[in-house]
């Protein structure tokens, strides 16, 4: 899966991208999606819609085919859609009570809306009956699947935390050590600037890339409770002193010229930010784990030659956050339509319990260069050229006490768009931290 596909499918297109037309880019559509046989509002066989894009599409399709072969009386009909088309189609289908039986969701705010409108099943009892499945999955992946202490989706597939990347050659060039604290980060900024090297690469035009800095600073300074109070809609939560401190530190970094000149016009979808790191124009980059594979394929010997280093986000002196906490994409999720027929629900639950997370799918995700959200999947890493990297991601995700879902997914679509707009202004120094907090507090009403 490319860096762009991973990010777009798991974050940006989930909530903040504009709606497109209803034309469906269905690749190998196996059934009349949205028809009375969809397993949504009417009866009929169970259905599942999945996203296109290899290698993920192949892994998803193979898992359904294997299940159907083993369960000829409980088959699922699968349809495939590109990201934009799916996003439009699923909203229309759910609104008309014609959704697929198994609903792909990114969890967080979108899932919360489904729950509020009674469109998805409470799967808490499902997991009580399938405790072995729950125990198999990373505990940190369930946060984005949980609403009001009840589980409404099955975590699945792979994990992508946000990682701090470093160009080791540039660190050697200026005689610097990798940072472990925020003070270290700020001390490195003038050192790299003096050498004519941008301290950090950033594709700021994409906005969600800027957001990653706030996600980590809020956690490291205020602990996971800080964003949780925002997620729960606590009045004036964005104005908490720890929030203002985090917002101020971001602007301190901008004012110190911590990011490459012109970062606001650089896009992440073009992978231009990654190129700045591996080409030696920037020393550091905060980005998703999905960028590793594209840097490996596009960056010459940058990765294979041992010039890439990585770590978790640095600690902040005096902060309340747990250094094991991480942010990003805890997993993908499948919910169950509450409007499906009993027959379809039974088949779907059987697939979710037995066909979604298998030895074959775990092996396939690892071979694709991804880390499955399955405890013990690290046993598949031996012999891989990327074993150290995969182990780091596995340990980060499985060991995180809190794996905060990216904010533009965790919040409602309306809140997410306001957030991204204000983050752009914050990084552009067009608003103060206090103005940012005031603007975001307005989204908490109701």
Question: Would you list the DSSP string of 129-162?
Answer: HTHHHHHHB-GGGGGGGEETTEE-SEEESEEEEE
Residues 359 and 289 in one domain: no
Residues 9 and 132 in one domain: yes
- Whether 51 and 86 have beta carbons less than 8 Å apart is answered as yes
Residues 335 and 316 in one domain: no
- Whether 380 and 371 have beta carbons less than 8 Å apart is answered as no
- Whether 39 and 344 have beta carbons less than 8 Å apart is answered as yes
Q: What confidence score (pLDDT) does residue 6 get?
A: 46
Identify whether 395 is part of a domain. no
Give residue-wise pLDDT tens across range 57-90: 999 999 999 999 999 999 999 999 987 788 889 9
What CA–CA distance (Å, rounded) separates 396 from 101? 33
- Whether 194 and 361 have beta carbons less than 8 Å apart is answered as no
Residue where a domain terminates, one of 380, 398, 420: 380
DSSP 33-45: TTSTTSSSSS-SS
Q: What confidence score (pLDDT) does residue 23 get?
A: 29
Identify whether 437 is part of a domain. yes
Residues 38 and 69 in one domain: yes
Residues 85 and 21 in one domain: yes
The number of domains in the chain is 2
Identify whether 387 is part of a domain. no
Mean pLDDT calculated for residue range 205-224: 97
Identify whether 399 is part of a domain. no
Identify whether 393 is part of a domain. no
Burial zone of 139 (CB within 10 Å; 0-12 exposed, 13-18 middle, 19+ buried): middle
- Whether 77 and 45 have beta carbons less than 8 Å apart is answered as yes
Give residue-wise pLDDT tens across range 335-364: 999 999 999 999 999 999 999 999 999 999
Residues 181 and 214 in one domain: yes
Look up the domain containing 53 and give its range: 3-157+331-380
Omega before 443 within 30 of 0, i.e. cis = no
Residues 140 and 167 in one domain: no
Identify whether 402 is part of a domain. no
Q: What confidence score (pLDDT) does residue 44 get?
A: 60
The pTM assigned to this predicted structure is 0.83
Residues 208 and 190 in one domain: yes
Give residue-wise pLDDT tens across range 361-380: 999 999 888 899 999 999 99
Residues 179 and 314 in one domain: yes
Residues 227 and 361 in one domain: no
Where would I find the H helices in 82-231? Answer: 83-95, 108-116, 124-129, 131-136, 168-174, 182-194, 208-222, 224-231
Residues 323 and 335 in one domain: no
Q: What confidence score (pLDDT) does residue 412 get?
A: 86
Identify whether 394 is part of a domain. no
Residues 82 and 197 in one domain: no
Identify whether 294 is part of a domain. yes
pLDDT band at residue 385 under the 50/70/90 scheme? confident
Classify 199 as helix, strand or coil.
strand
Q: Specify the CATH number for the domain of residue 189.
A: 3.40.190.10
What CA–CA distance (Å, rounded) separates 284 from 359? 36
| Encoded tokens for 408 | 């533009």
């Amino acid at each position: 899966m490319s860096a762009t596909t991973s990010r777009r499918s798991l974050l940006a297109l989930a909530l903040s991208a504009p709606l497109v037309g209803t034309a469906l880019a269905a690749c190998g559509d196996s059934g009349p999606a949205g028809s009375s046989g969809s397993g949504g509002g009417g009866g009929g066989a169970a259905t599942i819609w999945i996203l296109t894009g290899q290698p993920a599409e192949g892994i998803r399709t193979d898992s359904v085919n294997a299940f159907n072969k083993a369960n000829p009386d409980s088959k699922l009909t699968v349809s495939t859609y590109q990201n934009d088309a799916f996003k439009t189609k699923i909203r229309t289908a759910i609104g008309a009570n014609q959704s697929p039986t198994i609903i792909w969701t990114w969890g967080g705010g979108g899932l919360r809306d489904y729950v509020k409108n009674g469109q998805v099943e409470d799967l808490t009892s499902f997991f009580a009956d399938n405790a072995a499945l729950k125990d198999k999955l990373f505990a940190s992946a369930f946060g984005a699947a949980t609403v009001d202490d009840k589980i409404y989706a099955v975590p699945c597939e792979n994990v992508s935390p946000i990682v701090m990347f470093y160009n080791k050659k540039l660190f050697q060039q200026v005689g610097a050590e990798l940072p472990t604290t925020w003070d270290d980060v700020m001390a490195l900024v003038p050192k790299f600037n003096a050498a004519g090297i941008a301290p950090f690469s950033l594709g700021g035009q994409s906005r969600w890339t800027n957001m990653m800095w706030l996600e980590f600073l809020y956690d490291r300074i205020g602990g996971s409770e800080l964003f949780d109070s925002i997620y729960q809609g606590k009045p004036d939560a964005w104005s908490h002193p720890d929030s203002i401190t985090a917002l101020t530190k971001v602007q301190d970094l901008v004012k110190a010229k911590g990011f490459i000149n012109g970062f606001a016009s650089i896009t992440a979808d073009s992978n231009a930010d990654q190129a700045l790191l591996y080409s030696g124009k920037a020393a550091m980059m905060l980005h998703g784990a999905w960028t590793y594979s594209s840097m490996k394929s596009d960056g010459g010997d940058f990765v294979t030659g041992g010039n890439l280093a990585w770590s978790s986000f640095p600690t902040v002196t005096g902060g309340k956050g747990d250094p094991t906490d991480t942010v990003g994409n805890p997993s993908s999720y499948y919910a169950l339509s509450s409007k499906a027929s009993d027959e379809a629900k039974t088949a779907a639950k059987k697939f979710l319990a037995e066909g979604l997370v298998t030895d074959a799918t775990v092996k396939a995700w690892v071979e694709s260069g991804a880390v499955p959200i399955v405890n013990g999947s690290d046993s598949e890493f031996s012999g891989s050229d990327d074993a150290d990297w995969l182990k780091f991601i596995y340990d980060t995700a499985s060991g995180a006490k809190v794996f905060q879902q990216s904010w533009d997914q965790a919040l409602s679509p309306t809140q997410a768009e306001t957030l991204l707009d204000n983050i752009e202004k914050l990084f552009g120094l067009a608003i103060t931290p206090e103005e940012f907090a005031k603007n975001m507090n307005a989204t908490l009403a109701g």
